Amino acid sequence: SEEDLETHFERTIARDQRIEPRDWVPEGYRKTMVRQIAQHAHSEIIGMQPEGAWITRAPSLRRKAILLAKVQDEAGHGLYLYSAAETLGADRADLTQKLIDGKQKYSSIFNYPTLSFADVGVIGWLVDGAAICNQVPLCRSSFGPYARAMIRICKEESFHQRQGYELLMTMMRGTPAQREMVQDAVNRWWWPSLMMFGPPDHDSPNTERSMAWKIKRHTNDELRQRFVDMSVPQAEALGVTLPDPDLKWNADRGHYDFGEIDWSELKRVISGDGPCNAERVERRRKAHEDGAWVREAAAAYAAKRRESA
């Protein structure tokens, strides 16, 4: 009966076991999981754009090869995550359409422009660093396919983070102009990186439910604090200043205090009004339309093979 199924589900969660696609889940759990996985997948796919813009302008063959590999990894993460969403009954074509129609979200961070090659390094260091901070706990998320996807994705994100940091280290050893480029990129990306973790806990409608279902393992503010604590010594090692005069060690808390985040900016960017939202979605729409013939050909080929089998 429905009651037995519900008990089984609650027990699985309580025992820290994984929910698998064959298992019965409450409709709310399915919805939340599809929402989060789809947003995550969309973020990976849209996230190819800001850095992809620098592939043709990378300063050396080595940097170009690294950047190409990284952007391809992101495509892989997106496809992997769409597959995880499909195990919950979602349809990939439908999810893509919702992204293009502005009916599903993707991470705010990818709506900012990449103005110099230093941005590639800072995205690796801060944006991928924040992504790792957020996603490592998701390796223990209650939904099996998502948690397993996170393990592989986090390994690749670690490589992305390292390549970014190494690129910045190299630039910091370069000319004063190069060091200035790095500092400028850090100034522009620091606050948006903190916003990636989502609204503050008192204004995060989904956290409580998602924590109870063990989809999320920490609150937005907990992970944001962890990221700040991790980044300060890295900034020092690099020789850059984080653009926050209120950033300082608090011995009582055992954490760094930091300044007030401009939540109105996050709201604006999430609601579609960030610096690059229109451009990102338009580019995605065009790529989708330009790829229609490939999908049609693949479907026709699959149908032919089914007939002859």
Amino acid at 127: V
Considering only residues 67, 131, 147, 228, which one is a binding residue for ligand ACO as defined by CB under 6 A?
Answer: 131
Minimum CB separation from ligand ACO for residue 118, in Å?
Answer: 18
Considering only residues 89, 205, 245, 254, which one is a binding residue for ligand ACO as defined by CB under 6 A?
Answer: 205
43 near ligand ACO (CB under 6 A): yes
Q: Where are the alpha helices (DSSP H) in the chain?
A: 2-14, 27-46, 48-52, 61-86, 92-100, 118-122, 128-135, 144-172, 176-195, 207-212, 220-238, 263-268, 277-290, 292-308
From the list 18-26, 49-57, 62-70, 198-206, the region that binds ligand ACO by CB under 6 A is 198-206
Considering only residues 18, 29, 45, 47, which one is a binding residue for ligand ACO as defined by CB under 6 A?
Answer: 47
210 near ligand ACO (CB under 6 A): yes
What are the b/e assignments for 285-307, b being 16+ CB within 10 Å?
eeeeeeeeeeeeeeeeeeeeeee
> Which residues 245-304 are close enough to bind ligand ACO by CB under 6 A?
270
Amino acid at 89: G
From the list 48-56, 130-138, 167-175, 231-239, the region that binds ligand ACO by CB under 6 A is 130-138
CB distance 100 to 167 below 8 Å: no
Considering only residues 13, 18, 38, 44, which one is a binding residue for ligand ACO as defined by CB under 6 A?
Answer: 44
DSSP 56: G
| Crossing angle for the helix pair 144-172 and 176-195, to the nearest 10 degrees | 160
176 near ligand ACO (CB under 6 A): no
108 near ligand ACO (CB under 6 A): yes
164 near ligand ACO (CB under 6 A): no
The count of other CB atoms within 10 Å of the CB of residue 149 is 23
Judged by the rule CB under 6 A, the positions of this chain that interact with ligand ACO are: 35-36, 39-40, 43-44, 47, 105, 107-108, 131, 134-135, 195-199, 204-207, 210, 216, 220, 270
